Amino acid sequence: MSIASEIVDLCAVNEIADGEIRRGELPSGHAVAIYHVNGEFFVTDDICSHGEASLSEDGSLDGYEVECSWHFGRFDVRSGEPCAMPCEIALRTWPVKVEDGRVY
């Protein structure tokens, strides 16, 4: 089964407060960032596309945008698209499903 079609149980919904980010890991060891925004959950790659910052550790949420504290670049967590310089390369996003209080 390819990584893209695998369903991964990332965490419980109540483990991430609204407006918070948490690091998650795929079975391959690939790190992702899980965002909770107004009751919705989004997942992108954890590593900022501008440098090596971990967005779950060094990022902060402002609505649907995550700001990387290293150089203050921003991404839209819904699409992964960069929305503030110096970030120019989109983050990979992952499909999210919330079911029975779990984030997949």
Report if residue 53 touches ligand FES, rule: CB under 6 A: yes
Neighbours of 13 (CB within 10 A): 14
Q: Measured between alpha carbons, how far is 13 from 29 in angstroms, rounded to an integer?
A: 21
Q: Which residue has the tokens 């609505």?
A: 63
Quick one: which of 16, 34, 87, 91 contacts ligand FES (CB under 6 A)? 87
Report if residue 21 touches ligand FES, rule: CB under 6 A: no
Query: CB of 66: closest distance to ligand FES in angstroms?
Result: 10
Quick one: which of 51, 60, 89, 98 contacts ligand FES (CB under 6 A)? 51
Residue 21 is inside which H or E element, if any? strand 21-25
**DSSP characters over 77-96:** TTT--EEETT--SPPPEE--
Quick one: which of 11, 30, 31, 71 contacts ligand FES (CB under 6 A)? 71
Whether 29 contacts 82, CB under 8 Å: no
Query: CB of 2: closest distance to ligand FES in angstroms?
Result: 28
Report if residue 70 touches ligand FES, rule: CB under 6 A: yes
Q: Which residues bind ligand FES (CB under 6 A)?
A: 48, 50-51, 53, 68, 70-71, 73, 86-87
